[in-house]
Amino acid sequence: MTQLLESTGVEWINLDTTTLWSIGTTSEGEREARRQKPRLPRRPRALTDRPIVRFVGVDDLAVCEAGWQPLLPVVVSWLAEGRTPTLFVHTPDNLDAPVLARRFHEQVRRAVPALAPLPSPSRPDPPAEPTLF
């Protein structure tokens, strides 16, 4: 399979569920995530210049940060090789995913200071007051 993907220039999506499966579940959200996500080993290999990782964490943010530590040197090496990696961070309810994604990016930036910071999220303008006319 890997040879076919490489020969056609297609990247696989590395679904990293090691953190999700590393501890006992503490919530219904984690149990549901386990029902939906297979237990897979990490595959820290890129097939193209645009590697993709979907990191699936748990409700505990500290456990998520500890769980992605093996990915940091991989992403740093991909950047050093001139690749453009994409990492998606998921949690059972995804409420903390944006915060975690920013933390991951900042940890990568510590190792790769030339990496640009993420832009600050913009807040939409509040809706105008409705009027009759």
Q: In CATH, what number is assigned to the domain containing residue 103?
A: 3.20.20.410
Comparing C-alpha atoms, which of 55, 97, 59, 100 is closest to residue 75?
55
Distance CA 55, CA 71 (A): 9
> 17-68, pLDDT tens digit by residue?
999 999 887 899 999 999 999 998 888 889 999 999 999 999 999 999 999 9
The phi and psi torsions of 74 (rounded to 5 degrees) equal -65, -50
DSSP string across 67-92: HTTTHHHHHHHHHHTT---EEEEE-S
Write out the residue range of the structural domain in which residue 6 sits. Answer: 2-111
* Residue 128 is assigned to a structural domain of this protein: no
Q: Whole-number mean pLDDT of the chain? A: 90
Domain count, the chain: 1
pLDDT of 41: 84
Distance CA 87, CA 56 (A): 11
Percent of the chain with pLDDT over 90: 71
* Residue 121 is assigned to a structural domain of this protein: no
* Residue 22 is assigned to a structural domain of this protein: yes
* Residue 122 is assigned to a structural domain of this protein: no
Please tell me the pTM assigned to this model. 0.84
* Residue 25 is assigned to a structural domain of this protein: yes
What is the CB neighbour count within 10 angstroms for residue 48? 15
pLDDT band of residue 73 (cuts 50, 70, 90) is very high
* Residue 124 is assigned to a structural domain of this protein: no
